[in-house]
Structure 1
Amino acid sequence: MAAGLVISAPASGVGKTTLTLALARAWRNRGLNVQCFKSGPDYIDPAFHAAATGRASVNVDSWAMDRGTIAHLVSRGADADVVLAEGSMGLFDGVAARGVSGTGATADIAEMFCWPVVLVIDPSGQAQTAAAIAAGLRDYRPGVRLAGVVLNRVASPRHEDLVRRALNDAGIAVFGALPRHAEISLPKRHLGLVQAEEQAEIGKLIDEAARFVAEHVDLDAVLRSAASWPPQPAANGLNVTPPGQRIALARDAAFSFVYPHMLEAWRVAGAEILPFSPLADEVPDASADVCWLPGGYPELHAGRIASNVRFCSALRAFAETRSVHGECGGYMVLGTALTDADGIRHEMTGLLGLETSFAKRRMHLGYRLAELAAPIPGHRAGARLRGHEFHYSTIVAQPDRPLAAVHDATGAIIAETGSQRGRATGTFFHLIAEDR
């Protein structure tokens, strides 16, 4: 029977991912089967989880997914010894308006499966106040149980002692304390961590994190705090219609942001995924009946994409007879032009009229609920799609017919409607689920 834990924190940037990876690898090194999940819409962390455990990780999201879908995804941990769900942002951080089964907060997942929470606390610049924060999180929401804390980035033994004493007085277990250790810092860029597949030394970094955490954290105590979890077979699956029978999927460093559960659902439904690399000037498979361009970092590779004439010409030819859809970065590449952070304008494929610019950064971040005005591959007109948008581009032009009426989690209208022209469609949000 699996035992479950949630790794969370008071805020982002405290060390949740590093601790999750370290625990997962350390327990795997002991011969345990570890299954990770990511609570929330972050599409980068699951690849790190897979690198640490050797098992595929997926996102579970209470704003976008119903309980049946989440239970179906989580049931993959039934044969594991321990399940680790890594949270997003702070433990209770979500949106103001409830979604399908919650607000997107990590606490929703903890309560849903009765998994205790291990808090990562960074007491930099404080001492006893760290205990007050931990106690407040412990008592904030009935149904969410705190297992204990791991202190991160403690300044000195004296600093650690002050914080430990305060936590002990508050009745909160301290599983360990980590001094600052630059060797286990994961590199970052503007959308979060640099992707796992871009880091040749990721295995060594995770091994060092596991060694370091095993030296400073009581792994046995953390494992004992996990709750036994008898997963029940989910009444329903993912209810996803693949965009086609044979899907040409752009897949490389510029096109990598696609949720693992979506690819899995396509395969389970019988679709065949045919990856190709636009950065290598590869073209969609001629036998494919649809082409899908995920998001990623096209702004870092815009010059190379623009110069890859074979890819651009083949994609335009593909769209003359078959559907092409792009999400976020993929949508930008389907557009007319992309201006990079240095102000250099690069011609894109021109299947849509969208023009974007990174010369003046403007963050777009949040959940999206879209009602389609026209179909996209796998989804009919009128379908209600839930997704997440995160990019720093500015729309210079979006002249084509709107693809959807798009709202944020509060119901406010969003200007990023997506576009449709001929057989090409695109959205700024990454699809997570369709409302049933």
Structure 2
Amino acid sequence: MPAGLVISAPASGVGKTTLTLALARAWRNRGLNVQCFKSGPDYIDPAFHAAATGRASVNVDSWAMDRGTIAHLVGRGTDADVVLAEGSMGLFDGVAARGVSGTGATADIAEMLGWPVLLVIDPSGQAQTAAAIAAGLRDYRAGVQLAGVVLNRVASPRHEDLVRRALNDAGIAVFGALPRHAEISLPKRHLGLVQAEEQAEIGKLIDEAARFVAEHVDLDAVLRSAASWSPQPAVNGMNVTPPGQRIALARDAAFSFIYPHMLEAWRAAGAEISTFSPLADEAPDANADVCWLPGGYPELHAGTIAANARFRSGLRAFADTRPVHGECGGYMVLGTALTDADGIRHEMTGLLGLETSFAKRRMHLGYRLAALAAPMPGHQVGARLRGHEFHYSTIVAQPDTPLAVVHDATGAVIAETGSRRGQATGTFFHLIAEDR
């Protein structure tokens, strides 16, 4: 029977991902099968999980998904020895208004699955106050159980002793304390961690993190704190309609942000997916009946995309007769032009009139609920789609027919409506699920 555990923290940037990867690899090195999940809409971390465990990881999200979908997704952990769900932001951080089954908080998943929470606490600049924070998190919500704490970035043995004593007095188990160790820091960029597939040394970094954590954390005690988990059968699956039978999917360093569970759902529904690389100047498969451009980092490769004539002409020819859809970065590439952070304007494919700029960056972040005013691949007019938007571009022009009426998680209407022109559609949000 698998043992389930949630890795969380009081805030972002404390070390959740590093600890999750280290624990997963350390237990895998001991011969255990480890399955990871990501709570929340982060589309970068699952690839790191897969690198650490050798098993695909997917997102589970209480704002966008119902309990049946979450049960279906976590069911992949039934043959594992250990199941780890890495949280996002702080343990109780979500949106103000409840979504399908919660607010998107990690605590929702912990309570829903009955898994205790292993807290990562960074006591930098404090000592006993760390125990007050941990105790507050333990007592904040009755349905969430705290397994214990791992301390991260401890300054000295004296510092560790002060924090440990306070946590012990509060009745909170301390499974280990990690000194500062630059060799296990994961590189970052403006949308989060640099993608796993872009890091040639990611395996060595995870191995070093596993070695370091095994040296300072009681792995057996952490494993004993996990809950024996007997998953309930899912009443239904993802209920996802693929955008087509044969899907040409852009896939490279500029087009990589698509949720793994969406690809799996498309394949499970019988769709065939062929990938192509715009950065390698490849055109979509001529035998496909729909083309999908995910988000990613087109702003870092705008000059290459603008210069790749075979990709641009091939995509235009494809769109003459078949649907093409872009999400976030893919939407920007379907547009007329993209201005990069240096103020250089690059011509894009021109299938849509959208023009965006990174010269004056503005962060757009949050859940999105879209009611389609026009059809897009896989979804008809009136469909209600749930997704997540995260980018730093500014809209210079968005002249085409709006694709949807889009609300944020509070119900406020937002300007990023998406667009439709001919066979081309695009959205700034990344699709997570469709309301049933």
Q: Normalised by the size of structure 2, how large is the TM-score?
A: 1.00
Give the drift of 1:18: 0.1
Structure-2 separation of matches of 1:273 and 1:16? 33
Give the drift of 1:172: 0.2
- 1:363-382, Cα deviation, whole Å (9 max, x unpaired): 00000000000111001110
Structure-1 separation of matches of 2:350 and 2:239? 33
Structure-2 separation of matches of 1:361 and 1:165? 45
Structure-1 separation of matches of 2:347 and 2:246? 28
- 1:130-159, Cα deviation, whole Å (9 max, x unpaired): 000000000000010000000000000000
Give the drift of 1:243: 0.3
Structure-2 separation of matches of 1:93 and 1:116? 17
- 1:13-42, Cα deviation, whole Å (9 max, x unpaired): 000000000000000000000000000000
- 1:336-383, Cα deviation, whole Å (9 max, x unpaired): 000000000000000000000000010000000000001110011100
- 1:219-253, Cα deviation, whole Å (9 max, x unpaired): 00000000000012201000000000000000000
Give the drift of 1:268: 0.3
Give the drift of 1:58: 0.1
Give the drift of 1:4: 0.1
Over the aligned positions, Cα root-mean-square deviation in angstroms equals 0.3
Give the drift of 1:407: 0.3
Aligned partner of residue 369 in structure 2, secondary structure: strand
Percent identity of equivalent pairs: 92
Aligned partner of residue 320 in structure 1, secondary structure: helix
Give the drift of 1:194: 0.2
Structure-1 separation of matches of 2:252 and 2:376? 23
Q: In the alignment, which residue of structure 2 is the partner of 1:64?
A: 64
Structure-1 separation of matches of 2:34 and 2:414? 40
Q: Which runs of 4+ in 1 moved over 3 A?
A: none
Q: In the alignment, which residue of structure 2 is the partner of 1:290?
A: 290
Q: In the alignment, which residue of structure 1 is the partner of 2:190?
A: 190
Give the drift of 1:206: 0.2
Structure-1 separation of matches of 2:188 and 2:220? 31
- 1:397-423, Cα deviation, whole Å (9 max, x unpaired): 000000000000000011000000000
Structure-2 separation of matches of 1:310 and 1:4? 48
Structure-1 separation of matches of 2:73 and 2:388? 19
Show structure 1 runs of 5+ residues with no match: none
Structure-1 separation of matches of 2:45 and 2:158? 34
Structure-2 separation of matches of 1:361 and 1:396? 12
Q: In the alignment, which residue of structure 1 is the partner of 2:153?
A: 153
Structure-1 separation of matches of 2:361 and 2:128? 39
Q: In the alignment, which residue of structure 1 is the partner of 2:99?
A: 99
Aligned partner of residue 118 in structure 2, secondary structure: strand
Structure-2 separation of matches of 1:159 and 1:381? 59
- 1:189-241, Cα deviation, whole Å (9 max, x unpaired): 00000000000000000000000000000000000000000012201000000
Structure-1 separation of matches of 2:376 and 2:15? 38
- 1:230-284, Cα deviation, whole Å (9 max, x unpaired): 0122010000000000000000000000000000000000000000000000010
Structure-1 separation of matches of 2:431 and 2:140? 32
Matched, 1:4 2:4: yes
Structure-1 separation of matches of 2:7 and 2:127? 22
Aligned partner of residue 332 in structure 1, secondary structure: helix
Structure-1 separation of matches of 2:9 and 2:312? 44
Q: In the alignment, which residue of structure 2 is the partner of 1:120?
A: 120
Structure-2 separation of matches of 1:207 and 1:197? 16
Structure-2 separation of matches of 1:272 and 1:413? 35
Give the drift of 1:330: 0.0
Aligned partner of residue 319 in structure 1, secondary structure: helix
- 1:160-181, Cα deviation, whole Å (9 max, x unpaired): 0000000000000000000000
Count of residues in correspondence between the two structures = 436
Q: How does 1:211-250 map to 2 (within 5 A)?
A: 211-250=211-250
Structure-2 separation of matches of 1:174 and 1:227? 17
Matched, 1:265 2:268: no
Structure-1 separation of matches of 2:412 and 2:232? 37
Matched, 1:29 2:29: yes
Structure-1 separation of matches of 2:72 and 2:386? 18
- 1:60-86, Cα deviation, whole Å (9 max, x unpaired): 000000000000000000000010000
Q: Normalised by the size of structure 1, how large is the TM-score?
A: 1.00
Structure-2 separation of matches of 1:427 and 1:339? 18
Structure-1 separation of matches of 2:113 and 2:294? 31
Structure-1 separation of matches of 2:361 and 2:267? 37
